[in-house]
A and B are shown apart, each in its own frame.
Chain A
Amino acid sequence: MIEILSNAALATVQDLGRLGSLRFGVGTAGAMDDLALAAGNLLLGNEAGAAGIEIPVFPFKVRFAEDCVFALTGADCGARLDMAPLLPWWSHRARAGQVLTLGLPQGAQRASRAVLCLPGGVDVPQVLGSRSTQMRGAFGGHEGRALRKGDVLRAADPGRACRTGFGLVPPAIALPLDIDGLVALRVLPGAEYLGFETASRAAFWDGEWRITAQSDRYGYRLSGAALRPVAAMELRSHGIVPGVIQVPHSGQPIIQMRDAQPSGGYPKFGTVIEADLWRLGQAPIGSRIRFIEVDWDQAVAALEQKQAWLAKVARMVALQHSAPTGVSA
């Protein structure tokens, strides 16, 4: 059991998302950095899709009520267990009564969300096949809402004794993608792409885009050179998914994120590919990003590369968990 000690603004229980319910008007939710959640789970021998805690606001504090292994991935937050500093992207062991504190994200690759994984996953009920918090519908996760001070969460397999004390090369380093030092995202041109002026299309790929303060789990509003349509486009509402880049009348694009509603009517300029949504999920407010145009085959290849990285993590961690003598010095 862990007890939330801080005013855990916006921290939520998330798994890899509630897939297959868009036809009922239920968005996917799920971890903004799915790679961090999957890797954290694998470090503990969990299923990659077990539920963890996504933490976007700091400091964040929890107390372990009993001895428990855990993994920290995502943003490097200068974590401490009581006073002892903890490495990021690492599996750890807490004793009963110890307090885990996550501070502000730090380092050259400053990310924005930390992920805390527990043995067996966070034990909350499945709703429509997922444990993710559906904020709009107020169901799933822990009581259908963000965590609050005093909340108590259980690990599904609290007594698990797996080897800890090792970690992973973070994917921002293992699978880097940047242009001139800015995080880059690969984008498939969308259905209304050709309805925008040639100059706007060129500016989209060539320019820098700032993530504004009006950005959260629902969507990221960007600011940059306005994208102008050749002629005004009026569309009926249609299905949209996380990653879709809409352009409202202002010309300043909005990227739909994990808590996006499942339909919308703005013209679609493009879609951030599924394989790169974690990069965007970790890009801090105020940071600048770039876009790279890709085609379908390149998008599929990127997804396969991401899955291959996770498969390698699963294989290497299994070797480390099964090693009889321990290979640490």
Chain B
Amino acid sequence: MKKAPHELREIAGWMAATGIGFLELRMPGATVRLGRRGDEVVTLDDGPRSDEAPVAHPPGATNRFGPPVDTVSSASLGEFLHAHPCATAPFVRTGARVQAGQMLGLLRIGVLLLPVTASRAGTVAAVRVEDGATVGYGAALVDLHPL
């Protein structure tokens, strides 16, 4: 997934806000390293570019040993939460049926909470990340069996 300049600026903004010092984005044909110089987030170097737009977790990828699995991946770096901080019950458990757009978890970035939602209707095959774990951009969070 090649990043347009505005997307890189966006990622740099998140880095500045979260206090993360170094981030490497590896994409087929290109690697971008972002680092901190004082209060600024700068591009440390730029690997060879590719015009392809491969996707780390293609929608509808087929699991060789079972039914097709759709992976919901992290759209940012942050901490993956199974439940809202005010609640004790998780948004979903393995086996739960979910509708498209339904909340599966939250991504905590500093003071902010962002929704992680189901890309389509299905059942939860697996929650792949522990509650409270720090995840990177594009990390696989939840597997869904599409309905």
- A, B: real partners: yes
B-contacting residues of A (Cβ < 8 Å)? 76, 87-90, 107-109, 165-170, 173-174, 309, 312-313, 315-317, 319-320, 323-329
Of all chain A residues, the one with the shortest Cβ separation from B13 is A319
Of the candidate stretches B20-28, B46-54, B83-91, B125-133, the one touching chain A is B83-91
- Give the residue of B7, B75, B103, B110 whose beta carbon is less than 8 angstroms from that of A316: B110
Using A168-B113, A316-B111 as known contacts, list a sample of 16 further A-B pairs with CB atoms less than 8 Å apart, ordered by residue number in A. Answer: A88-B84, A90-B113, A108-B86, A166-B113, A166-B115, A169-B108, A169-B111, A173-B86, A312-B110, A316-B109, A319-B10, A319-B14, A327-B10, A327-B76, A329-B73, A329-B74
* Given known contacts A108-B88, A319-B14, A327 and B111 CB-to-CB distance under 8 angstroms: no
24 pairs from A and B in contact (CB 8 Å cutoff): A87-B103, A88-B84, A109-B86, A168-B113, A169-B85, A169-B112, A174-B111, A312-B17, A312-B110, A313-B112, A315-B17, A316-B17, A317-B112, A319-B13, A319-B14, A319-B17, A320-B112, A323-B13, A324-B7, A327-B114, A328-B116, A328-B117, A329-B116, A329-B117
Give chain B residues whose Cβ lies under 8 Å from the Cβ of A317: 112
CB distance from A3 to the nearest CB of B (A): 28
Q: Is the CB of B109 within 8 A of A325?
A: no
Give chain A residues whose Cβ lies under 8 Å from the Cβ of B112: 166-169, 313, 316-317, 320
Give chain B residues whose Cβ lies under 8 Å from the Cβ of A323: 10, 13
Q: Is the CB of A329 within 8 A of B141?
A: yes
CB distance from A233 to the nearest CB of B (A): 44
Q: Is the CB of B86 within 8 A of A309?
A: no
Is the C-beta of B37 less than 8 angstroms from some C-beta in chain A? Answer: no
Q: Is the CB of B111 within 8 A of A329?
A: no
| Residues of B contacting A: mostly | mixed
> Which residues 9-56 of B have a CB within 8 angstroms of A?
10, 13-14, 17
Give chain B residues whose Cβ lies under 8 Å from the Cβ of A89: 86, 113
Is the C-beta of B64 less than 8 angstroms from some C-beta in chain A? Answer: no
Alpha-carbon gap, A234 to B56, bound state (A): 76
Give chain B residues whose Cβ lies under 8 Å from the Cβ of A319: 10, 13-14, 17
Give chain B residues whose Cβ lies under 8 Å from the Cβ of A166: 112-115
- Give the residue of A107, A312, A313, A324 whose beta carbon is less than 8 angstroms from that of B6: A324
CB distance from A112 to the nearest CB of B (A): 14
Q: Is the CB of A325 within 8 A of B84?
A: no
* Given known contacts A319-B13, A319-B14, A327 and B75 CB-to-CB distance under 8 angstroms: yes
Alpha-carbon gap, A326 to B6, bound state (A): 12
Give chain B residues whose Cβ lies under 8 Å from the Cβ of A326: 75
Give chain B residues whose Cβ lies under 8 Å from the Cβ of A313: 111-112
* Given known contacts A319-B17, A325-B10, A327-B75, A88 and B115 CB-to-CB distance under 8 angstroms: no
Is the C-beta of B72 less than 8 angstroms from some C-beta in chain A? Answer: yes
User: Which 3 pairs, one residue from A and one from B, show the smallest C-beta to C-beta distance?
Assistant: A167-B113, A316-B112, A329-B116
Of all chain B residues, the one with the shortest Cβ separation from A43 is B112
Alpha-carbon gap, A139 to B142, bound state (A): 53
Give chain A residues whose Cβ lies under 8 Å from the Cβ of B115: 165-166, 328-329
Give chain A residues whose Cβ lies under 8 Å from the Cβ of B76: 327
CB distance from B92 to the nearest CB of A (A): 13
Give chain B residues whose Cβ lies under 8 Å from the Cβ of A173: 85-86
* Given known contacts A166-B114, A328-B115, A107 and B17 CB-to-CB distance under 8 angstroms: no
CB distance from A108 to the nearest CB of B (A): 7
Q: Is the CB of B87 within 8 A of A328?
A: no
Of all chain B residues, the one with the shortest Cβ separation from A75 is B86
Alpha-carbon gap, A325 to B75, bound state (A): 10
